[in-house]
Amino acid sequence: MKVSTRQVDGITILDLSGRITLGEGSVQLRDSVRDLLAKGSKYILLNLADVNYIDSSGIGELVSAYTTVRNQGGELKLLNLTKKVHDLLQITKLYTVFDVKDDEASAIASYTRA
């Protein structure tokens, strides 16, 4: 899995590509989110447009990242889900937990910044 980071209007966007699976993919996601929180970034948007596969540990990592960000007073949202990932979140009933957006502009506008 590859992760690239960019900033738009005070929101940190993580562009993820590849597979979020047990091992390297989930570790990269966890480390990226923790690094951002340590640097004071509380508004995180995960762009999953190029993520073609997530296994159960990847789902666990998404939930863990979401919880960690929320506990530190931030917001984590998901952007550009592929059909596979969208279906997976529907099946696991996590689609209602995450704030999922389809386009970057509305996602960025949806953050409640203090």
pTM to 2 decimals?
0.95
Other CB atoms within 10 A of residue 74 CB:
19
Residue 16 within a domain: yes
pLDDT at 114: 52
Residue 18 within a domain: yes
If one counts the domains in the chain, the total is: 1
pLDDT at 113: 66
DSSP state of 103: S
Report the C-alpha dihedral over residues 61, 92, 22, 27, rounded to 10 degrees.
-10
Grouped pLDDT means (10 residues each) for the chain, 114 residues = 95 96 93 97 97 94 97 97 95 96 96 73
What is the span of the domain harbouring residue 81?
A: 2-108
Helix axes 24-38, 56-71, angle to 10 degrees: 10
Return the CATH number at 39.
Answer: 3.30.750.24
Residue 113 within a domain: no
pLDDT at 79: 98
